[in-house]
Amino acid sequence: MLEHAERVKQSLQGGLIPAVPVPRYADGRIHDEAQAAYASYLARQKIAGVAVWAHTGRGLHLQPGQRRDILRLWRSVLGPSRIVIAGAGALPDPALSMADRIERWRMDSKKMAEEAIAGGADALLVFPPVLLRELPAHEREEAAGEYHRDLACLGIPLVIFYLYEGAGGWSYSQDLLRKLLSLPHVIGIKIATLDSIMTMQNIARILAEEFPGHMHITGEDRMFGYALMRGARSALVGLGAAYPNIQADLIKAYRVQDYARFLDLSERVDGFAEMTFTEPMDKYILRMLHCLVFAGVIPQEAAHDVAGYEMTEQELASIRHGIDKYRLY
């Protein structure tokens, strides 16, 4: 298992992991042909692997059969040389009492993790256990630690997920972060603060000074280049779902110290993020699907998301203009 964890870390090193959306028809059904075409497209790009069942793929809203089909497709298309990271978590049942709700949620989360392992996932991205924030203050952090420990007992590499609260995350305290990063099988953390540069800096410093062997995996779509400057060695981003090669080249340019190219690519990737990761922020998934339409990867009929957002002609024109302006590839 130690060898496997090192292989995953090596694959992450300097690599881009797109968090992949799920193409759908307008009625919410998964568009299987578009899904297959999308997987084939990404497999030809400069990626180290993909993240399935994550927020970008509406992982907590997928049925078990859908999850299995999605993981099976990506695992098959990418082959053994690239990694597949699967989201792990569950939606709580509001009809249950608090104690029963937590117990059922724990069971469902573990089941999702076990399905990922059975399907050949290389690592788990652990959704923040936001349900536990409803516990009394003195119990929350211990419960969060216990939850992550239970998943660690499955023996698969874990990636902690620091996600800003506006996207359904939890602003972990620094003490809790240290406890989570110290757990067995934890190989790193995905940091997605959106716009809290101080939080990102603080976590980056903890990693650099106290956990240098752990992977700093940026999820900062709106601070991509700067995150690399602050120690990120990999990126797991929804922005990578379309036009990933410019983002992979951005990572490479920084690592090989080609700073002129880094600055050029960073400005262009920032422009891409500024047109797709904007309010309402959760609409970014639909925007990325339309980027895939413009790239000729999926048909227009497959650019739908379960959240029910719709794109205006003005928004679509803005994205088309940005793709040309920032010379995305």
Each residue of 254-302: pLDDT tens digit? 999 999 999 999 999 999 999 999 999 999 999 999 999 999 999 999 9
Average pLDDT over residues 114-126: 98
What's the pLDDT score for residue 298?
99
CA 63 distance to own-chain centroid? 19
Predicted confidence (pLDDT) per residue in 143-180, tens digit: 999 999 999 999 999 999 999 988 889 999 999 999 99
Q: Evaluate if residue 1 carries a pLDDT over 80.
A: no
Residue 42 C-beta-side C-alpha neighbours within 13 Å = 34
pTM: predicted TM-score of the whole model, two decimal places = 0.96
CA distances (Å), 170 to each of 160, 173, 174, in order? 11, 9, 12
312: left (phi over 0), alpha (psi -120 to 50) or beta: beta
Domains of the chain: 2-325 (3.20.20.70)
**Taking the mean position of all CA atoms in its chain, how far away is CA 134?**
25
- Count of alpha carbons within 13 Å of 294, Cβ hemisphere only? 21
Rounded average pLDDT over 206-233: 98
pLDDT band (50, 70, 90) for residue 243: very high
Do 242 and 292 contact (CB within 8 A), yes or no?
yes
